[in-house]
Amino acid sequence: MSDVPAPAHVVRATTTSRVLGLLGVLLVAWLAFLAASDNPATQTKIVELCVFVVVASMWNLLAGYTGLVSIGQQAFIGLGAYGLIVFGNGYGQDVYFSIVPAALIVLIASVPIALLAFRLRGGYFAIGMWVIAEVVRLLVKQYKDDPIKGGSGTSLDVPTDLYPKAERFQTTAFIALGLAVLAVTVIALLLRSRIGLSLQAVRDNEHGAGGLGVNVYRERFIVFMIAALFTGAAGAVWYLLKIRIQPDTAFGVADWTAPIVVMVVIGGIGTIEGPIIGAALWYLVRDYVTSTDSAIQLSDEWYLIVTGLLAMVVALFFQRGLWGSLQRHFPSLQVFPIQRRLVVDDEVGDHRDRKRST
């Protein structure tokens, strides 16, 4: 290139992102404080919320950023959960530690699944992933021996002398919160990076990204593996709390991917904040309508039906969801400083920002 460009630098964080980021840290601290309390009901809610924050964020990373709409993420939930059973019950490992090999098994399993599913595009990929999840579920049901015990399911072995109940709830709540923070941090760092730039490009125009040198297949593969790893870990954490596991629920599309899609669509697809807000709202409202003293009473099934309809309305008329619509009106609104703002020094003359240049 012939010209010598004028000095320019890139600014990432904004005042809004610093303030909102601080609020986010306070929110996590508050959740950690709640997790430390001796209230199993609160700890259960924290685990459920955090698990869904992880899986919804990961589904959004796939669907919202790389255009891979999967309705088979329950395959990774179930594999992570049964990984926990195999390492905990089968090999007698510490149940907390068993999350790690369980998640790694899911990571390895995601490679052949991706090789198979990536041969399909768009809607065919979505259905293909569902079919894969069903096949895995049926295979697990065929394994009738210990420690899987086929379709009737089994329970995670947590003898109370080794794992006192109060302690297990507290530890699980901390693990779930830690996993959620780690998952969102990984997503934010990924999207902030060079790869993240290309993921956002793929999100907006796949062919345009390929034409600018982005290897769309490879980027998708990486993201698919990251999503599988965290979704598997989340599945294991869930059953650390629930103990009782059956293939039909661990691999159930209505138990997992259906609510995930609802959360992400309502919260705002293609944003980091959207799935977190969607998952939080989903749980807050569900808590209200299923509690005995509320004005509106809904069973879990009816709740999914009503929120599903709501998600359809959002998808039709507010495609960006809650957070995306807010961002449209307040363009500087971002918790995670992903955007790059270019400051050309000689033209803007803003030299104070220079120390923050990248």
Helices (H) and strands (E) in the chain, counts: 16, 4
347 binds another protein (CB under 8 A): yes
Please pick, from the candidates 203, 280, 298, 310, the single residue that binds another protein as defined by CB under 8 A: 203
The CA angle 139-144-148, to the nearest 5 degrees, is: 80
**Residues of span 274-333 touching another protein by CB under 8 A:** 331
Q: Which is nearer to another protein, 11 or 289 (CB)?
A: 11
Please pick, from the candidates 37, 142, 185, 215, the single residue that binds another protein as defined by CB under 8 A: 215
Q: Which is nearer to another protein, 165 or 354 (CB)?
A: 354
Instruction: Identify which range of 37-45, 141-149, 152-160, 338-346 contacts another protein by CB under 8 A.
Output: 338-346
- Bond from prior residue into 147 cis (ω within 30 degrees of 0): yes
Q: Rounded to the nearest whole angstrom, what is the least distance from the CB of residue 5 to another protein in the complex?
A: 4
Burial (CB count within 10 angstroms: exposed 0-12, middle 13-18, buried 19+), residue 197: middle
Q: By C-alpha distance, which of 79, 21, 87 is closest to 338?
A: 21
Instruction: Identify which range of 43-51, 207-215, 245-253, 282-290 contacts another protein by CB under 8 A.
Output: 207-215
Burial (CB count within 10 angstroms: exposed 0-12, middle 13-18, buried 19+), residue 178: middle
User: According to the 3-state scheme, what is the secondary structure of 85-152?
Assistant: HHHHHHCCCCCCCCHHHHHHHHHHHHHHHHHHHCCCCHHHHHHHHHHHHHHHHHHHHHCCCCCCCHHH
Please pick, from the candidates 14, 93, 171, 339, the single residue that binds another protein as defined by CB under 8 A: 339
Please pick, from the candidates 212, 284, 312, 313, the single residue that binds another protein as defined by CB under 8 A: 212
Tokens 């964080």 correspond to what residue?
13
Q: Rounded to the nearest whole angstrom, what is the least distance from the CB of residue 324 to another protein in the complex?
A: 10
Please pick, from the candidates 119, 121, 144, 340, the single residue that binds another protein as defined by CB under 8 A: 340
Q: Give the C-alpha separation, 318 to 89, whole Å.
A: 47
Q: Which is nearer to another protein, 159 or 211 (CB)?
A: 211
Q: Rounded to the nearest whole angstrom, what is the least distance from the CB of residue 137 to another protein in the complex?
A: 35
DSSP for 10-29 reads EE---HHHHHHHHHHHHHHH
List beta partners, residue 50. Answer: none
Q: Which is nearer to another protein, 18 or 341 (CB)?
A: 341
Point out which residues bind another protein (CB under 8 A).
Answer: 1-3, 5-6, 8-10, 194, 197-198, 200-201, 203-205, 207-216, 270, 331, 339-342, 344, 347, 358
